[in-house]
Amino acid sequence: MIWYRVYPRLLRVLEKESNKGTSTLIKGELIMKKAMVFPGQGSQVIGMGKELYERYEVVRNIFKEADEATGVSITKLCFEGPDEELRKTENTQPAILTVSVACQRILAEEGILPDLVAGHSLGEYSALVAAGVITFAEAVATVKTRGRLMQEAVPLGQGAMSAILGLERTKIVEICMNTSSDMSPVQAVNFNCPGQVVIAGSTEAVELAGQRLKEAGAKRVVNLPVSAPFHSVLMQPAALKLQNVLDRLNFKDANIPVIVNVDGTVVQKGIFLKELLVRQAASPVLWEDCVQTMEKNGATLFIEAGPGKVLSGFTKKILTGAETVNVEDIASLEKALDYLKGVS
């Protein structure tokens, strides 16, 4: 195959990265480092995973394992809903993780293996499964408990989240710090990509910060339909209880590098990955930093495994010219495999 005729965009990536050692030519073929990324909450939709379930035995096995490990029918929740049940965080989390790992397992059967992994918020658990740190059964049962603990930490209506669009992250952090108080905290909790940061905290403080951010020049402030202020200091009670749950699991060292949400660094030691998962529940998700770290460690191709393609959109805003593919259903899988087998 003459790859530079078939994949002209890859040639531009190669030219850009040639001095970084991130891609290699061997006998005329392009070898690219692949990062696999996994989505978090918000990407759920009724019917997710159903097409893959009907075609692949490995997916049916994953769903069966999820049902058994959680004691509820994750299969029915994913395929039939109802929506109000799927949107409950203790159901959303195991459902998204199940679909994400199912997509990753199909890719593995097809010989598509990542060089690096990372996940956004909940997606970090999917990444740890892909890296061999914890088993799928352990992960899916844990995130169901994680969802329940997060919801219990803050009564409904007392916490909120808003996406801030079109304002520098430093300005958002500054305004949140000046708005926050011990009794009514607010902080930046998701640094998704340039121009998009999510804030969270008490409902009153989030509303006030949103007004001040608009006055400071934010293009839009979008209130998010969530049930709790995830990744804020208000999640600290949940993080403490989550530690007891994680302490019962056997965290192995990762067999591939994991880029973690808390600080955007590369970690492979199981003991540290467990500590960071505890911190992650009540700490900001530095996704922009994670993607930049993956690029610095050689990633030139990003594969999103799981429902939606939100992370692919973030990646393209973080890294100009980034190559991305996603896998969530039969159509996206076939398109991804056609592409990936041409560059692997």
Whether 25 contacts 31, CB under 8 Å: yes
Confidence of residue 268 (pLDDT cuts 50, 70, 90): very high
Average pLDDT over residues 61-79: 98
What would the DSSP string read from start to end of 40-102? -TT---TTTTHHHHHH-HHHHHHHHHHHHHHSS-HHHHHHH--HHHHTSHHHHHHHHHHHHHH
Confidence of residue 342 (pLDDT cuts 50, 70, 90): confident
Q: Which tens digit of pLDDT belongs to each residue from 118-140? A: 999 999 999 999 999 999 999 99
User: Which residue range is the domain that position 216 belongs to?
Assistant: 159-226
Specify the DSSP class assigned to residue 27. Answer: T
Question: Please, what is the average pLDDT of the chain?
Answer: 92
Same domain, 137 and 247: yes
Average pLDDT over residues 89-94: 96
CA distance 21 to 216: 41
Q: Which tens digit of pLDDT belongs to each residue from 287-301? A: 999 999 999 999 999
Of 172, 201, 226, the one marking the end of a domain is: 226
Is pLDDT above 50 for 11? no
Whether 288 contacts 259, CB under 8 Å: no
Same domain, 198 and 249: no
What are the catalytic residues? 121, 231
The pLDDT score that the predictor gives to residue 344 is 59
Confidence of residue 172 (pLDDT cuts 50, 70, 90): very high
Amino acid at 61: N
Same domain, 201 and 273: no
Pairing type for strands 116-119 and 29-38 reads: parallel
Q: Buried b / exposed e across 41-58, counting CB within 10 Å, b at 16+?
A: bbbbbeebbbbbbeebee
The pLDDT score that the predictor gives to residue 32 is 75
pTM (two decimals): 0.91
Of 226, 260, 283, the one marking the end of a domain is: 226
Whether 155 contacts 240, CB under 8 Å: no
Only one residue has tokens 């990744």, namely 231
The pLDDT score that the predictor gives to residue 226 is 86
Same domain, 145 and 171: no
Is pLDDT above 50 for 22? no
- The CATH code of the domain that includes 93 is 3.40.366.10
Give long-range contacts, CB 8 A cutoff, 24+ apart: 251-254. 251/133, 251/134, 252/132, 252/133, 252/134, 253/133, 254/128, 254/131, 254/132, 254/133
Same domain, 136 and 190: no
Same domain, 164 and 76: no
Same domain, 276 and 180: no
Share of the chain above pLDDT 70, in %: 91
Tokens of 237: 């009670």
Confidence of residue 165 (pLDDT cuts 50, 70, 90): very high
Provide the domain count of the chain.
2
The pLDDT score that the predictor gives to residue 31 is 59
Same domain, 216 and 81: no
Same domain, 39 and 149: yes
Same domain, 23 and 126: yes
**Which residue in 134, 50, 54 sits closest to 99, CA to CA?**
50
Of 170, 194, 226, the one marking the end of a domain is: 226
Confidence of residue 9 (pLDDT cuts 50, 70, 90): very low
Average pLDDT over residues 60-82: 98
The pLDDT score that the predictor gives to residue 321 is 85
Same domain, 165 and 149: no
Strand partners, 116: 35
Same domain, 103 and 213: no
More confident residue, 178 or 4: 178
- The CATH code of the domain that includes 168 is 3.30.70.250
